[in-house]
Structure 1
Amino acid sequence: MNGNKNRTVKLKIKRYLPDKGEIKEFSYEVKVNKYTTVLDALINVKETQDPSIAIRYSCRMGICGSCGMVIDGKPRLACQTHIETLKKDEVVVGPMEGHPILKDLVTDMDEFFSKHKYVIPWIYTDDIEEKFNPKVEYKQDRRELDYYLPFSYCIKCGLCVDACPISNSNPAFLGPQALAQAYRYNSDSRDKGEKLRLVRIDTPDGVWGCEFIGACSEVCPIGVDPALAIQLLKLDVMRFSLTGKVNNEKKVK
């Protein structure tokens, strides 16, 4: 739309006011061009019109995941969403609804990270020598890398949890982010913690809580596919439950 020429857009911000315990919508007018992101517009409003607006952001380039919010009804990263691509003169922005709201567009991510930590999201080994006194690089071939690499790009923005109807209706559900990361580490040939994770997630609020709706994968800004990871994880859980064995095919030596 007209290159660098500015136009005026109405930015409607759904702000949570903790002292009143309610969400109210405030309208602001901002000048935008084809390069303006929703985050740019929010920062502009905060700097020039209303410094009381609470927003969270850091890298401004889709890496940190800090600026997750609901934009025109869909969970997105504000720094990745260009206003011109929305093709509207009125843009509605609100906080993510799948996480407790602290103030305005800022949500509490403590529970999100607690669930992430619960699935042991690190390379687990019982080899003390390897853990504390490694002698050489732990090499992997292309096949071993391909098993987990597509699921390793998660930036922990929380958008997948916000989009998941199960997470929104059942707070105890581990959620797509944590489960996808369980699969990521289970599939790593360097890891020896697969049995520990499979026991933890083999519950109604774990891997079996997922109904494969796919909303999590649709909103991921990096292209991770949590829905696929969870279905593959279900196969691993069933194999372990029936045979007591893990999927050694993914851990080729």
Structure 2
Amino acid sequence: MATPTMDRVEEGSAASTHLLTVTFRIRRFNPEVSDEAWWQDFQLEIDPKERVLDGLHKIKWDVDGTLTFRRSCAHGVCGSDAMRINGKNRLACKTLIKDIVSLDKSGNVSKPITIEAIKGMTVLKDLVVDMDPFFQAYRDVMPFLVAKGNEPTRERYQSAEDRARFDDTTKCILCAACTSSCPVFWNDGQYFGPAAIVNAHRFIFDSRDDAGEQRLEILNDRDGVWRCRTTFNCTDACPRGIEVTKAIQEVKRALITRRF
């Protein structure tokens, strides 16, 4: 099969001197066409300071409009464009071409950039996966403040120290990069997964919340925190730098000591 090529810069122009010729090798899947996935190469000229998402946009807009992927804010906040890039879970909008290409001695790109859907979830089309089970696990851990007693007459104050206790886990953007990097989740889709546990941690250790015990009992289930094997894949995959494995261990400790 011929490789689609896109060259938007005229040969010999000054602007072309800093561009790289890069092959995007994308794992495609379209249930309306075939039950089997396949790899397709797209070659394009791109500035190494651009992002993988920019390359995907160029392919979809100028070469093959059937290419399907999710993206929204394009600034690393929405988390919708998580995918496997060169075998690692990343956000396409935060991954620069220059950081992932391999160059030969002549300064030419020697290997393609491989892109595929995140693992452990049903692929619906191309790079889009079914996120419903992921968000169901998130909902199951009660990711909201539960405060008992009378309605307060003013805001609930919290010290800086109490806020710092769960600050790290407030950074989660629900991209599923951590959960879909977990080998336990790959083999057992019933496991809550790192992202759900991180979001439970955020409220378990919130001094204003009164449902910590309830969340701990949810995570004490056979599909909860005890399934974690501490491989640190989740921490390595998190695009927000959350210490995911540490958060899971803190929830385990809270289950044993009932102190949180």
Name the TM-score, length of structure 2 as normaliser: 0.88
Structure 2 CA distance for aligned equivalents of residues 14 and 238 of structure 1: 44
Matched, 1:208 2:240: no
> Deviation per CA, 1:130-153, whole angstroms, max 9, x where unpaired?
2xxx42121111110110011110
Contact 1:4–1:34 (CA<8 Å) still a contact in 2? no
Distance 1:152 1:47 in 2: 35
Distance 1:202 1:184 in 2: 17
Partner of 2:191: 173
Letter in 1 for 2:134: F
Deviates more, 1:88-97 or 1:59-68: 88-97
**2:140 corresponds to 1:118:** yes
In the alignment, what sits opposite 2:62?
Answer: 48
Which SS does the other structure have where 1:31 is aligned?
A: strand
Report how many aligned residue pairs link the two structures.
Answer: 237
Structure 2 match to 1:12? 25
Change (3 A) 1:8 1:119: same
Uncovered stretches (5+) of structure 1, i.e. residues with no partner:
241-245, 248-253
Partner-residue secondary structure (3-state), 1:70: strand
Q: In structure 1, what residue type is equivalent to 2:231?
A: I
Aligned equivalents of 1:119, 1:69: Cα separation in 2: 25
- Give the conservation status (yes or no) of the 8 Å contact 2:20–2:48: no
Quote how far apart the aligned CAs of 1:91 are. Answer: 0.4
- Cα distance in 2 for partners of 1:182, 1:210 equals 15
Report the alpha carbon displacement of residue 204 of structure 1 after superposing the two structures with TM: 2.2
Amino acid at match of 2:224: G
Distance in 1 (CA, whole Å) between partners of 2:90 and 2:195 is 15
TM-score by length of 1: 0.90
* Counterpart-to-counterpart distance in 1, 2:20 and 2:53: 17
Q: Distance in 1 between matches of 2:219 and 2:159?
A: 28
4+ residue runs of structure 1 moved beyond 6 angstroms? none
**Distance in 2 (alpha carbons) for counterparts of 1:3 and 1:15:** 30
Percent of aligned pairs with the same residue? 32
Q: In 2, Cα distance between the equivalents of 1:226 and 1:180?
A: 7
Q: What residue is the counterpart of 2:249 in the other structure?
A: 231
Secondary structure class of the residue paired with 2:76: coil
In structure 2, list runs of 5 or more residues that go unmatched.
1-14, 103-108
Kindly provide the amino acid, as one letter, of the partner of residue 40 in structure 1. Answer: D
Q: Give the Cα separation in 2 of the matches to 1:97 and 1:185.
A: 28
Separation in 1, partners of 2:132, 2:42: 31
Q: Is the 8 Å Cα contact of residues 42 and 59 (structure 2) preserved in structure 1?
A: yes
User: In the TM superposition, what is the alpha-carbon distance from 1:126 to its structure 2 partner?
Assistant: 2.2
Contact between 1:148 and 1:188, CA under 8 Å: does it hold in 2? yes
Q: Does 1:94 align with 2:137?
A: no
1:73 corresponds to 2:87: yes
* SS of equivalent to 1:22: coil
SS at match of 1:208: helix
Instruction: Check if 1:184 corresponds to 2:202.
Output: yes
Once the two structures are TM-superposed, the CA of residue 34 in structure 1 deviates from its matched residue by 2.6
Question: Which of the pair is proportionally richer in helix?
Answer: 1
Which is worse superposed, 12-21 or 71-80? 12-21
